[in-house]
């Protein structure tokens, strides 16, 4: 298996996860609702932390469940964990090996909180520390840069949201994700050609907002891991508060801009960047107006509900990073200075 082949596994993996884990997700949702938890407290690192950013927006917007992202060093180095007060304590980790994430769930148990592990390793230390385990069933991921485990984590988070809502409509929408994913991956050859344009790119910013704040962070992370670019992710709102000053003619701005509640604000930003600052735009969108502003437009399949666009929009971003790595002459299978499993304390 290679990074490229694992990217292409994702439609099948997402469909399988939805089919095989729905009943488990319904049982977890039932337990959460029986405890009447006031908020979720989520611990993760790296790619999984970006999945947590998606949960932050989704569970807040669709389930009225506030989410706090944990600071694991409080549990390890400072040994001063906060009072969790009946929270749902969630650990998200592909390997389930990182001691600092495990420590958050162990403390949640000590404080008599409901604990949930979302992981690709159901026999891992993280899983053993949890009351419930949601196995994302992505299969072995050999590439160092995570792809299929990330989208499986997003799918697990989205399934739990649908279960908490008792929403048949949202389950039906989830059933279409694998088909949309296949359509997005059909852009592979186009993205391979597009990457040639950015052979000498050394820095960029990546913009997203709302549900796709997570996508901006994950796209930037893939670029850092694989191509060694300085790739800084921002909310388009935060970007206006100072960082926009760095943009001059030809400065690369990558953006994820699907239709939805935050579309108008993102479109206003793109217009300002292209027409006012002559920025170089790479845009993932299902909206013709946004694609028309980009020197490098990447179209998404139409009619994806906004809450599910992160599961689909990250796929062309992964392919872009994969092809750009090859264009720059780097090895997609052996990124420097990082390993598949990172254990932090």
For residues 115 and 197, membership in a common domain is answered with: no
DSSP result, 120-163: S-TTSHHHHT-SEEEE-------SSS-SHHHHHHHHHHHHHHHH
* Mean pLDDT of the residues in the chain: 96
343: pLDDT strictly greater than 70? no
Q: Could you list the residue range(s) of the whole structural domain that residue 321 is in?
A: 186-327
For residues 62 and 208, membership in a common domain is answered with: no
For residues 202 and 226, membership in a common domain is answered with: yes
For residues 171 and 232, membership in a common domain is answered with: no
For residues 190 and 115, membership in a common domain is answered with: no
What's the rounded mean pLDDT across residues 168-190? 98
Side-chain-side CA neighbours of residue 9 (13 Å): 23
pTM, rounded to two decimals: 0.97
Among candidate residues 70, 313, 137, the one with its CA nearest the CA of residue 208:
313
Task: Give the model's pLDDT for residue 2.
Answer: 95
What's the rounded mean pLDDT across residues 120-124? 96
Contacts of 30 (CB under 8 A, 6+ apart): none
The count of structural domains within the chain is 2
For residues 201 and 121, membership in a common domain is answered with: no
Task: Give the model's pLDDT for residue 337.
Answer: 75
What's the rounded mean pLDDT across residues 207-219? 98
Task: Give the model's pLDDT for residue 329.
Answer: 97
Instruction: Tell whether 333 is covered by a domain.
Output: no
C-alpha to C-alpha distance for 306 and 261, rounded to whole angstroms: 8
Instruction: Write down how long the chain is.
Output: 345
Instruction: Tell whether 238 is covered by a domain.
Output: yes
Task: Give the model's pLDDT for residue 46.
Answer: 94
Query: φ, ψ for residue 6 (rounded to 5)?
Result: -70, -35
Task: Give the model's pLDDT for residue 342.
Answer: 65
Model pLDDT for residues 264-312, shown as the tens digit of each residue = 999 999 999 999 899 999 999 999 999 999 999 999 999 999 999 999 9
Share of the chain above pLDDT 70, in %: 98
Q: Where are the beta strands (DSSP E) in the chain?
A: 40-43, 67-69, 88-93, 114-119, 132-135, 203-208, 230-235, 252-256, 280-285, 296-299
C-alpha to C-alpha distance for 214 and 53, rounded to whole angstroms: 5
For residues 99 and 225, membership in a common domain is answered with: no
For residues 120 and 167, membership in a common domain is answered with: yes
345: pLDDT strictly greater than 90? no
Q: Tell me the CATH number at 30.
A: 3.40.50.10490
Task: Give the model's pLDDT for residue 338.
Answer: 75
Task: Give the model's pLDDT for residue 339.
Answer: 73
Task: Give the model's pLDDT for residue 215.
Answer: 98
What's the rounded mean pLDDT across residues 136-159? 96
What's the rounded mean pLDDT across residues 41-61? 97
340: pLDDT strictly greater than 60? no
For residues 28 and 147, membership in a common domain is answered with: yes
C-alpha to C-alpha distance for 136 and 121, rounded to whole angstroms: 8
Q: How confident is the model at residue 336 (pLDDT cuts 50, 70, 90)?
A: confident
Among candidate residues 71, 85, 77, the one with its CA nearest the CA of residue 35:
85
For residues 236 and 147, membership in a common domain is answered with: no
Q: Looking at 175, 198, 232, which one is the last position of a domain?
A: 175
Asked if residues 103 and 72 have their Cβ atoms less than 8 Å apart, the reply is: yes
Model pLDDT for residues 320-330, shown as the tens digit of each residue = 999 999 999 99
């Amino acid at each position: 298996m290679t990074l490229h082949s694992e990217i292409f596994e994702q439609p099948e993996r997402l469909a399988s996860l939805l089919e095989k884990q729905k009943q488990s997700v319904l049982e977890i949702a039932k337990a959460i609702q029986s405890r009447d938890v006031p908020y979720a407290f989520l611990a993760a690192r790296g790619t999984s932390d970006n999945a947590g950013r998606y949960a932050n927006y989704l569970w807040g917007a669709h389930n009225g469940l506030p989410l706090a992202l944990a600071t694991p060093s409080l549990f390890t180095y400072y040994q001063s964990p906060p009072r969790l007060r009946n929270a749902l304590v969630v650990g998200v980790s592909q390997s389930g090996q990182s001691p600092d994430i495990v420590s958050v769930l162990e403390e949640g148990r000590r404080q008599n909180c409901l604990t949930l592990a979302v992981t690709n390793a159901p026999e891992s230390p993280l899983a053993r520390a949890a009351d419930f385990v949601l196995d994302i069933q992505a299969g072995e991921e050999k590439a160092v840069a995570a792809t299929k485990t990330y989208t499986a984590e997003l799918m697990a988070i989205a399934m739990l949201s649908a279960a908490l809502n008792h929403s048949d409509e949202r389950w039906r929408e989830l059933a279409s994700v694998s088909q949309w994913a296949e359509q997005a991956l059909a852009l592979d050859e186009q993205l391979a050609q597009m990457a040639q344009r950015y052979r000498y790119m050394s820095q960029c910013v990546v913009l997203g907002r709302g549900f796709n704040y997570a996508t901006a962070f994950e796209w930037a992370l893939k670029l850092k891991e694989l191509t060694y670019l300085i790739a800084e992710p921002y909310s388009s709102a935060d970007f206006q508060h100072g960082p926009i000053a760095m943009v001059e003619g030809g400065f690369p701005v990558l953006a994820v801009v699907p239709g939805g509640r935050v579309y108008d604000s993102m479109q206003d930003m793109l217009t300002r960047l292209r027409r006012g600052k002559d920025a170089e735009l790479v845009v993932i969108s299902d909206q013709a107006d946004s694609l028309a502003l980009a020197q490098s437009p990447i179209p998404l399949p139409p009619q994806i509900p906004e809450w599910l666009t992160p599961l689909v929009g990250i796929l062309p971003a992964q392919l872009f990073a994969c092809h750009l790595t090859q264009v720059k002459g780097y090895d997609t299978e052996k990124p420097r200075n990082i390993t598949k499993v990172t254990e932090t304390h």
